[in-house]
């Protein structure tokens, strides 16, 4: 049975969290600790699936605790709790937290968040692979993206459009911006599915704080030869535009189009992550690519499909289930009739969009 660990030094918060999750306790067990050392001791004795920690716990602040958990227990998902008054502390945790929740969030939001994380964990079964993906503090990106973000943050006349266009040039940075803006910490009324809207809502000061503090958008592991992040980002932009152009005429709803547009942008998160962190596996995948079907080659080289790896990371980060599923369930080969028939309409649409972005010959799917 999954186990959740709550960490807060205020007994009323722990009591409230326990009450909020009471109806779901038949699905998981709950543990609690009052401070960072107590949490680490508990983690050493238990197999914890999700850690929910107050960003302002005494002795060891939440950001320090979560970074320690990321290094020592990477298979444990990490959520930060905040009361809304400690934005700087929350931003300092951006690199090691996978999701952010307000202490005042309603029970439905809390339970839904925990359920979505546990569902995402089911996408990747291999504990070692899950630990590698869960231990990330930043997704791979070209170093020039970080340098340009720093320059923009220091420019007094930089605009939302400048920042949004730069963000969209990199898959990883796009994912991190959308992850942050859609967290309950910002208490928005609806999900943000546009990079320009996300940058507008975060505001230049937040972007500047994140960039200059080095807590997000920072360079991570280099990509192996043969994989160019800017090429994948450009492909994602073309696919996203294809979604917006073709699905409306095919009868898809505005909400579905917005979600699948983001899925198209983030389609290659799994490939980027696996290739950067397992370069030998990437080399094996490249070697097998010409002799085996794509799905078989991915499973053999990485231990899972790149779609499931990407869905796992984005699921931990709190992306909408429709976005996660469209990426996780992507049919790897559009010539595989059985795989296409088994895929959800959204996953098939995103796969077709990327095929169109590369070959320009895919047809729009029927409405959904």
| pLDDT tens digit sequence for 272-283 | 889 888 999 999
Question: What pTM was computed for the model?
Answer: 0.82
Report the distance separating Cα 86 and Cα 69, nearest Å.
Answer: 21
Angle between helix axes 107-121 and 11-20 (nearest 10 degrees) is 70
Tell me which of 212 and 140 has the higher pLDDT. 140
Residue 156: Cβ within 10 Å count: 5
Q: Is the pLDDT of residue 180 over 80?
A: no
Length of the chain equals 368
| Backbone dihedral angles phi then psi of residue 219, each to the nearest 5 degrees | -65, 145
Residue 199: alpha-carbon gap to chain centroid: 17
Q: Which helix (H) or strand (E) holds 306?
A: helix 306-316
Q: Tell which residue, 156, 159, 168, has the closest CA to residue 195.
A: 168
Q: Which pLDDT band, with edges at 50, 70 and 90, does 295 fall under?
A: confident
Q: Which domains does the chain have, with CATH numbers?
A: 3-122 (3.40.50.2300), 143-213 (no CATH), 229-359 (1.10.3210.10)
Q: Is the pLDDT of residue 197 over 60?
A: yes
Q: Tell which residue, 357, 356, 349, has the closest CA to residue 330.
A: 349
Residue that has been written with the tokens 């169109």 in this structure:
356
Report the distance separating Cα 335 and Cα 356, nearest Å.
Answer: 14
Residue that has been written with the tokens 């983030």 in this structure:
266
| Backbone dihedral angles phi then psi of residue 256, each to the nearest 5 degrees | -65, -40
Q: Is the pLDDT of residue 162 over 70?
A: yes
Question: Span 1-17, mean pLDDT?
Answer: 75
Report the distance separating Cα 95 and Cα 70, nearest Å.
Answer: 10
Strands (E), the chain: 3-7, 29-33, 50-54, 77-82, 99-102
pLDDT at 347: 92
Tell me which of 41 and 85 has the higher pLDDT. 41
Instruction: Identify the DSSP state of 24.
Output: G
Q: Is the pLDDT of residue 350 over 90?
A: yes
pLDDT at 102: 79
pLDDT at 338: 84
Question: Span 309-325, mean pLDDT?
Answer: 91
pLDDT at 256: 92
* Per-residue tokens: 198: 């996300």
CA 98-23-61 angle, 5° bins: 35
């Amino acid at each position: 049975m999954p186990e959740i660990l709550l960490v807060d030094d205020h007994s009323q918060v722990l009591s409230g969290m326990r009450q909020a999750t009471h109806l779901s306790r038949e699905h998981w067990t709950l543990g609690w600790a009052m401070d960072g050392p107590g949490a680490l001791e508990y983690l050493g004795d238990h197999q914890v699936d999700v850690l929910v920690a107050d960003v302002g716990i005494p002795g060891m602040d939440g950001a320090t605790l979560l970074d320690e958990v990321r290094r020592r227990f990477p298979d444990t998902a990490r959520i930060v709790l905040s009361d809304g008054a400690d934005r700087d502390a929350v931003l300092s945790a951006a690199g090691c937290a996978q999701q952010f929740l307000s202490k005042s969030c309603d029970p439905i939001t809390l339970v839904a968040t925990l359920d979505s994380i546990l569902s995402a964990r089911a996408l990747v079964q291999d504990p070692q692979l899950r630990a590698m993906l869960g231990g990330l503090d930043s997704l791979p990106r070209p170093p020039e993206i970080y340098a340009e973000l720093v320059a923009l943050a220091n420019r007094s006349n930089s605009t939302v459009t400048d920042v949004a266009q730069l963000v969209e040039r990199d898959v990883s940075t796009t994912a991190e911006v959308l992850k942050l803006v859609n967290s309950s910490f910002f208490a928005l009324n609806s999900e943000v599915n546009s990079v320009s809207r996300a940058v507008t809502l975060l505001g230049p000061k937040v972007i500047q704080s994140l960039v200059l503090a080095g807590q997000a958008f920072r360079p991570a592991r280099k990509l192996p030869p043969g994989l160019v992040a800017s090429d994948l980002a450009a492909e994602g932009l073309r696919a996203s535009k294809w979604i917006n152009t073709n699905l409306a005429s095919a009868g898809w709803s505005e909400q579905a189009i917005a979600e699948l547009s983001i899925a198209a942008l983030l389609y290659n998160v799994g490939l980027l992550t696996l290739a950067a962190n397992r370069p030998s596996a990437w080399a094996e995948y490249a070697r097998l690519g010409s002799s085996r079907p794509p799905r078989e080659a991915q499973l053999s080289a990485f231990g899972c499909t790149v779609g499931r790896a990407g869905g796992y990371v984005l699921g931990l980060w709190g992306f909408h289930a429709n976005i996660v599923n469209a990426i996780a369930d992507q049919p790897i080969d559009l010539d595989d009739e059985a795989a296409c028939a088994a895929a959800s309409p959204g996953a098939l649409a995103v796969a077709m969009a990327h095929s169109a972005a590369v070959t320009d010959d895919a047809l729009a799917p029927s409405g959904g």
